Amino acid sequence: MAADVWFLAILLASGAPAPAAPPLIITSEHSPPASMKVDGQVVGREGEKIREMLARAGYAYSIDVLPWKRAFTMAQRDRYTCVYSTSRTPEREGQFKWVGPTDEAEWILMGRAGRQYHVQTLEDARKLRIGTYHGDARDEFLRARGFDVDGAPDNAANPKKLMLDRIDLWAVGVRNNDRSALAQYAAPEQIVPVLTFHHVKVYLACNPSVPDAMIERMNAALDSMRKDGSFTRLEKKYEQWQANK
């Protein structure tokens, strides 16, 4: 596989046209600054990585921001459909073909400031009710291990539930331990980290109908972006997103 990706990277650098294929349908969720719509256009740190990758690979596509459960279900069900940013977990491994990683994240249990949780390991949280949202990887992970999970329709509901004592903890994904994006949901002085319990890499997850050759070409395009500094450029572009809001 590594040799194939290397060969494809040479083809991309030479400007070789992509093989004809149906347009890809790309879905994601509203999750600033990773993915969001601004003036009707999908942008964001991960959104722009995906768009740049597809431009280099030479594939036609449409892209939209949807509720996560719908976006994820479409990629599971519909031909030539992919969803980002998708945590690559053992439970999901065989459901998709994977392009990436495009980023990575820590999974953190957040709690109310001032409350004593006495949680040193994930097992210590087994008697507590943990807020997640439907279709999310943390929801799947915790349910599969028998935790008391309270799923919401979307992530924005969970800090409100936490402050109302409807849940004890809130399971979130945080990029590189940067919790600034959580400020869109709740004030930092109200909700604080309790335990980091998992580390994942995130990908563009594609329906198995997407041919292997397309997956390899997209991975080669991502590899070229890493090598020429495009990944770093796009990440720096959104470093000040929260500060500038």
| All domains in the chain, ordered by first residue | 2-104+202-244 (3.40.190.10), 105-200 (3.40.190.10)
The two tokens of residue 68 are 């996560």
Average pLDDT, integer, range 89-104: 96
Banded pLDDT at 244 (limits 50, 70, 90): very low
d(CA 164, CA 145): 26
234 touches 45 (CB < 8 A): yes
Q: What is the mean pLDDT of residues 207-227?
A: 97
Q: Which residue has the higher pLDDT, 11 or 85?
A: 85
Count of residues for the chain?
245
C-alpha dihedral sign at 202, 208, 212, 213: negative
Residue 21: its pLDDT value, please?
Answer: 79
Residue 188 has pLDDT above 50, yes or no: yes
- Written as one string, the DSSP assignment of 166-177 is S-SEEEEEEGGG
Total-model pTM: 0.85
Cα 78 from Cα 11, distance rounded (Å) = 29
> Measured between alpha carbons, how far is 79 from 205 in angstroms, rounded to an integer?
12
Place 19 in a pLDDT band, splitting at 50, 70 and 90: low
130-135 average pLDDT score: 95
- Choose the weakest-confidence range: 21-25, 60-64, 122-126, 220-224: 21-25
- Give the model's confidence band at 59: pLDDT under 50 very low, under 70 low, under 90 confident, else very high: very high
Give me the percent of the chain exceeding a pLDDT of 90.
78
Residue 16 has pLDDT above 90, yes or no: no
Query: Mean pLDDT, the chain, as a whole number?
Result: 90
pLDDT at 243: 44
Tell whether the torsion through CA atoms of 81, 96, 90 and 218 is positive or negative.
Answer: negative
Q: What's the pLDDT at 132?
A: 97
Pick from 76-90, 163-177, 220-234: least confident: 163-177
